[in-house]
Every structure is written in C-alpha cells, then in structure tokens.
Amino acid sequence: MSKYSDGLQYYLLVAAVGLVAASIAVAFYLLYSAVWRFTQDAVNYSVLIFLPIAFLAIGLPYALVKLFATTKTTGSGTHTVLEAYHLTNGEVSLKDTIVKPTAAILTIGLGGSAGPEGPSLLAGGGVAAALSRRFKVQADMRRRLFIAGAAAGLAATFRTPLTAILFALEIPYKNDLDRETFIEAAIASVPAYLLSITVLGSEPFFGVVGSSSLTFEDIGLSLLLGLVCGLYAVFFTKTFSWVESAGFKLRKKIGNLSVVWLGGIVLSLSGLFSIYTIGVGLHLVNAIIQGTTFSIAILAVVVLVKTFATSVTLNFGGSGGLFFPTIVIGAGIGYIFSSIFNVNLTVMFVAVGMAALLSGTHKILLTPVAFVVEALGGIFAIPALLASGVSYLLSGKHSFYPLQPRTRLKTEELALERFYLKGEKLVPDKLKTTLASDFMTKNPVTLHQGTTVRDALEAFKSTKLRVLPVVDDGAHVAGVVNLEDLGNVDVRRQEISLSETVMHKPALIGEETSLEHVAQFMMEKQQDHVFILDKEKKLTGVISGIDVVKKILELLSS
C-alpha cells in the first residue's frame, strides 16, 4: 500500500515539491543569467567571438546529454515533460532531472534560441518524480504530482503563478483540460512563486508597463492580429516539424556530430545577422517595450530568422523551451502589426501578439492570457483573449507537440492513445508502412438496411459486438447501429426496418490508409470502430480500437 494518497500528508508533499522545484528553477535561472552576461559581453567586445560560442551552445549540451543522461535525447523541455506525462506516468530519472536542465542552461546561456522554461519544467517535474519514488506516492497520483512540479518550475522562472497553474491544466491536451491536476498545481505553484520573488524580486517579468484605455478600434485590430498570428502559428509549427524531420534524415546520412556542427553554423550566422535572433530573446522584448524604434523590414527578417534559429537549435543538438521563443516572436509580430497600422498603444499589440502566437502553437487558450496579465498588466486581458481564441481556432490541430492528444480519453480509447504515442516514439516508420488492410477483420458481420429491429437484435445475440454496420444492396455502408439504441425501440415497433431507426454516421477509411492515420483518426473522432472500404467504396473490413493497440504491440515487440 502506498504511503501517500489523497490526504493531508500528500498535499504537504505537493507544497514541498513546489518549494524544492522553485529552489532548483531559481538556481538554474541565476546560472543562465550569469552565462548569458558572459555571452553578451563577448559579443559586445567582438561579434566574431560568437562564432565559437555558437558551436559550444549546441555542441556542449549535446555532449553532456549523450554522455551522462539516461535518455539520450536533446530538444524541447516541454516535449520531454509531455513524453513523461503520457508515456511513463510522470517518471523521470534523477540523472535526467540534473543533466538535461543543465544542458538547456548551457544552450540558452551561450546564445541558443530557446526558452528558460524548458529546464524549469523538466527540473520541477523531475523533482516531483524523485519525491514520488522516495515517499511511495500512489501510482495514479504520480502523474498529477509530476505536472504540478513542472508548473512550480514555470511559476518560479517567470514569477507568474496563475500562468503556471493554467499551463498544467492546458498543455497535456489540445482541446481539453486536465482538471484533476488543478489542486496540486495550485498548491505547488503558489509557494514556488513566493520563494521566487523573495530571491528574484517581485517586479513583473517585463518591468512596469503603463496602462491606457481601450477602444473598439483596438478590439477590432486585436481580432485581426489574432488572425495573423494564427496563420504564423501554422507556419512556425510546420517549420519546426520540417527542421525536425530534416535533422533526423541528416543524422542518418552524415552522422550526429556533423548535424551538431551544422546547427552551430546556422546559429552563428543568425547571431552575426542580429543579436536579437539569439538567446532567450528577453533583450528584444525589453527593447520593444521600452520604445526602441525598429525598421519594419528588418524586424520582419529578425522574426523569420528567430523562427528558423529556434527550430534548428532545438532539433540539431541544443536543449531548452519553446514557450518563450514563441512569446518573443509574437511580440515582434505585434510590433510590426502596430507599426503598419500606426497605432499609439504599441505595447498592447505586443502583448496581444505574444498571447495569440502562444495559443496557436501550443494549443493553450487561457495560459497566454494569464501570462500577459501577470507580465504586462490586466488592461490587455480582453484583447489578448479574443486574439488568442481566433489564433487557436485558425491554427486547427497544428501544434509543436506530437505527444499532445486532442482530448483526455477513457478506457479503451486511453489505451489506444498510450500505445500510439509509444509507437510514434519507437517505431514511427512501421506505423506509416502498415496498412489498414494488413490488420483489419475481414468480411465483418453486417446488417441490411431493410432488416427489422427484431431481426437485428437476434443478430446481435450471435456476436460479441455492440456496434454493427448497416449496408445497402451494393454493400455500401449506409450507417451504423448500436445495441443500446435498438434496445430503446419500443417492443411494439420492432417490426420497423433499420433505415427507420436512429442510424449513426459511420467512420470510414480506405484499405490503403496507414496504421498511423487510422490511430490518429480514431483518437481525433473518438471512434472505437472504423469500417474499411475498397476502391469501389464497398465494405471489406472493420478495425476496433483494441485491434490498433494489438497491432502496435506486435510492432513494438518485433
């Protein structure tokens, strides 16, 4: 029996996790600040010095992870946190808790384009995992404690407790909230914030920003900016995914070390172009907020280069976060937008750009608004929320994180989600090459649309299924009926045909559809059965959720 479950001792442990996570996150932030000051001083002395520093920014973290970490992967800290959350029930080794955040600090401190929240999230989650093991926390509580520890690290780094709490609720899923973690996230994040402001001070992350009244014109322009950011979110996530794929292919062709060197070259060229394209990017945001004038054309190029530099840094050997680079790029887009429309309240559109781009790329709606309010001021809440909503909707399913399911699933659907995510990580090529026709159940039991309800119920008795397809004379699927609906038909009306009853829209896919797309389709549409059609659109097979799970298990074991 686990020592800690849902009681007073458990919540005291949650608070302790918050304090320990905050202590480590603050220490990492101070270390980052010291390394970044060294980098800035070196670049100010001579921009050419950044050439060797850029190679160190990617090479040193890569070597550190490969030599000392348990899992030998670099990249985004949020990716790692989601991976642990969905695949290992919040389990992170002590080595990874120390080594990977340290690697990330080296990346961002030496000028790699990544965010400081990456190491904080992983360190906080790792602390929670270590304490869960030490105090034998009940298995089903460990994942909640893990994401609460990650939130505490975020709260300490940005000094934004509400942002951290909402982040813990929103980041696990694209279109859902993990409500179960709310209490833990709140209990861990608040003491983490209090400890952080004791050490780092209580001034907002971007300093004090003056307030102003809003107009209907500001609201209308904010909606338009949300549209722009939604489109850029699609571009940013596609660029990141393309660079990730390119890095994977290059490693096979030229080797890991060559890819690291190539990443160093790209980062050094980025730094030679503009110092605003490297590092965390706080210096660019502060310059914009403090009124520094930028050429629209130059800043547009800076935004594009920063986008590419971030993608290369995190996919070619460096480590860090995506949260803050997205904020920086969103701020740049907001500044460009305000300059084009010649508005007076530039800071408002900078704030709106931050929130909207963050919402579109991370699939979080409330967290960006909370961040803007805590970092810049409450005056920006409404326009940020409206713009975030537009960006969230327009960007659709696009996200930085493959390990971010659409919704929280249950039972068989949850098993499908877990095994699909493991398959994506371990056997992605096999998921793409395995076709629906390879593992479908052929010649499935069917009902004709002219069959009576009484006869259909008899047919259900001879099967173990609760869902059956209804076909027409040409073997085309007309619909789907389930046992529950037929059971609700009045006994006196059981002579009516199935075409007169409630038939549901069938989930249909082709025989040539890959296992990857079958699983994605079933999770996205929340279907436990899909029906397989040949080229003539005739029914040839059926696949259930458990069929997909079994096939992925088979591929994993082989």
pLDDT at residue 307, rounded to an integer: 97
d(C-alpha 508, C-alpha 504), whole Å: 12
Element (H, E) at 373: helix 366-375
Q: What values do phi and psi take at 449, rounded to 5?
A: -65, -15
319-320 and 75-76 beta bridge pairing: parallel
Q: What values do phi and psi take at 358, rounded to 5?
A: -60, -40
Strand partners, 514: 435
- Classify residue 513 as exposed, middle or buried by CB count within 10 Å of its CB (0-12, 13-18, 19+): buried
How many helices (H) and strands (E) the chain has is answered by 23, 9
Strand partners, 304: none
The CATH fold assigned to 216-394 is Clc chloride channel (1.10.3080)
Which two structure tokens, joined as six digits, stand for 310?
Answer: 């971030």
Task: Spell out a b/e string for 238-247, using b for 16 or more CB atoms within 10 Å of the CB, else e.
Answer: ebbbebbebb
Sign of the dihedral through C-alpha 274, 277, 282, 285: positive
21 with 153: CB under 8 angstroms?
yes
How many residues does this entry show for the chain?
558
375 with 413: CB under 8 angstroms?
no
- How does DSSP classify residue 220? H
Regions in the chain scoring below 70 on pLDDT? 1-6, 207-213, 407-415, 502
- To 5 degrees, how large is the angle CA 247–CA 285–CA 387? 85
pLDDT at residue 179, rounded to an integer: 81
pLDDT at residue 143, rounded to an integer: 86
Query: Which amino acid is it at 118?
Result: G
Task: Spell out a b/e string for 113-148, using b for 16 or more CB atoms within 10 Å of the CB, else e.
Answer: bbbbbbbbbbbbbbbbbbbbeeeebbeebbbbbbbb
Q: Is-same-fold flag (8-200; 411-557)?
A: no
96-122 pLDDT per residue, tens? 999 999 999 999 999 999 999 999 999
User: How many CB atoms within 10 Å of residue 515?
Assistant: 24
pLDDT at residue 2, rounded to an integer: 46
d(C-alpha 554, C-alpha 213), whole Å: 61
d(C-alpha 112, C-alpha 55), whole Å: 9
User: How many CB atoms within 10 Å of residue 207?
Assistant: 11
d(C-alpha 285, C-alpha 108), whole Å: 16
Q: Name the CATH superfamily for 8-200.
A: Clc chloride channel (1.10.3080.10)
- How does DSSP classify residue 496? S
- Torsion, Cα of 359, 361, 363, 364 (10° steps): -30
| DSSP string across 416-472 | HHHHHHHHHHH-HHHHHH-BHHHHSEES---EETT-BHHHHHHHHHTSS-SEEEEE-
> Of 88, 509, 147, 154, which Cα lies nearest the Cα of 321?
154
Three-state SS for 47?
helix
Element (H, E) at 355: helix 346-362
pLDDT at residue 450, rounded to an integer: 85
Q: Is the pTM of this model over 0.85?
A: no
68-102 pLDDT per residue, tens? 999 888 888 888 888 888 777 788 999 999 999 99
pLDDT at residue 502, rounded to an integer: 67
Element (H, E) at 352: helix 346-362
The CATH fold assigned to 411-557 is CBS-domain (3.10.580)
Q: Domain limits of the chain? A: 8-200, 216-394, 411-557
